[in-house]
Amino acid sequence: MKTKLSTFCCLLYVFLVLNFGNSFAQEQIGTIDYNPFVQKMSGNFIHAKTTALTLPFFEDFAQYNAIPNPTKWVDRQVYINNTMAVNSYSRGIATFDAINQFGKPYDTSNPNSVRYADSLTSQQIDLSGKIAADSIYFSFLFQAAGMGFAPEKNDSLMLYFKSSSKSSNWIKVWSRSDTLLSDFKQVMIALVDTQFLHSGFQFRFVNKASMGLNDDVWNIDYIRMNSGRNRFDTAINDVAFTLSPTNLLNDYTAMPYRQYLSNASAERSSKFKSVIKNNFNANQNIANFGYSAYTSPSLISLSSDAGSNKNIASKATADIEWNTYSTTPSFGYYDPVIFEHKYYLQAPLGDASKENDTIIGTQIFDNYLAYDDGTAEMSYFLNLFPTLPGKIAIEQHLNQPDTLRGVAIYFGRQVPLASNKYFSVVIYQSIAYGSSSADKIIYELENLQPSYRDTINHFWIYKFDKAIPMPKGTFYIGTTQAALSGSDSLYIGLDRNRIGGNHAYYNVLNVWNPSLVSGALMIRPILGQDIIGSTIQEQKIRPKTPLTIWPNPTTEELNFTVDCQEMDLYYEIKNLLGQTMQKGHTTGPTQKINLQQLSNGHYQIQFFSKNSIFDVQQFVKK
Angstrom CA distances, 485 to 388, 450, 492, stand at: 9, 14, 16
Residue of 604, 613, 608, 610 whose CA lies nearest to 558: 604
Quick: pLDDT tens for 505-536. Answer: 999 999 999 999 999 999 999 999 999 888 64
Quick: pLDDT tens for 334-356. Answer: 999 999 999 999 999 999 998 89
Polymer length in residues for the chain: 622
- What band does 114 get if pLDDT is binned at 50, 70 and 90? confident
The confidence score (pLDDT) of residue 474 equals: 98
Mean pLDDT in residue range 186-192:
97
Mean pLDDT in residue range 122-126:
96
Quick: pLDDT tens for 236-289. Answer: 999 999 988 999 999 999 999 999 999 999 999 999 999 999 999 999 999 999
Mean pLDDT in residue range 349-371:
93
Strand order in 301-312's β-sheet? 301-312, 284-296, 337-345, 358-365
Does residue 15 have a pLDDT over 50?
A: no
Q: Which of 51-60, 82-91, 172-181 has the lowest mean pLDDT?
A: 172-181
Half-sphere exposure of 377 (CA within 13 A, CB side): 23
Helix (H, G, I), strand (E, B) or coil at 80: strand
Does residue 9 have a pLDDT over 50?
A: no
The confidence score (pLDDT) of residue 409 equals: 95
Quick: pLDDT tens for 216-230. Answer: 899 999 999 999 999
The confidence score (pLDDT) of residue 124 equals: 95
- pLDDT averaged over the chain? 85
Does residue 540 have a pLDDT over 60?
A: no
> Which domains can be identified in the chain, with CATH numbers?
41-234 (2.60.120.260), 240-365 (2.60.40.10), 371-527 (2.60.120), 540-621 (2.60.40.10)
Please give the Cα distance from 427 to 392 (Å, whole number): 11
CA 512 to chain centre: 29
Residues 6+ apart with CB under 8 A from 346: 286, 287, 288, 289, 357
Does residue 416 have a pLDDT over 60?
A: no
DSSP run (H or E) holding 50: none
DSSP run (H or E) holding 289: strand 284-296
Quick: pLDDT tens for 570-617. Answer: 788 887 656 678 877 776 555 788 888 888 877 888 777 655 666 677
Quick: pLDDT tens for 472-509. Answer: 999 999 999 988 766 567 899 999 999 888 999 999 99
The confidence score (pLDDT) of residue 348 equals: 92
- The answer to whether the beta carbons of residues 130 and 118 sit under 8 Å apart is no
Portion of the chain with pLDDT greater than 70, in percent: 82
Q: In this structure, are strands 492-495 and 473-481 parallel, antiparallel, or unpaired?
A: unpaired
Mean pLDDT in residue range 375-393:
90
Does residue 568 have a pLDDT over 80?
A: no
Residue of 413, 379, 458 whose CA lies nearest to 108: 413
CA-CA-CA-CA torsion sign (81, 82, 84, 86): positive
Half-sphere exposure of 513 (CA within 13 A, CB side): 15
Does residue 157 have a pLDDT over 60?
A: yes
Does residue 24 have a pLDDT over 90?
A: no
- The answer to whether the beta carbons of residues 103 and 38 sit under 8 Å apart is yes
Mean pLDDT in residue range 372-397:
92
Mean pLDDT in residue range 48-55:
81
The confidence score (pLDDT) of residue 16 equals: 41
Please give the Cα distance from 249 to 260 (Å, whole number): 9
Q: Which of 44-48, 154-158, 363-367, 507-511 has the lowest mean pLDDT?
A: 44-48
Residues 6+ apart with CB under 8 A from 351: 237, 238, 239, 357
Counting other chains too, the contacts that 167-175 makes at CB distance below 8 Å and 24 or more residues apart are 170/204, 171/195, 171/196
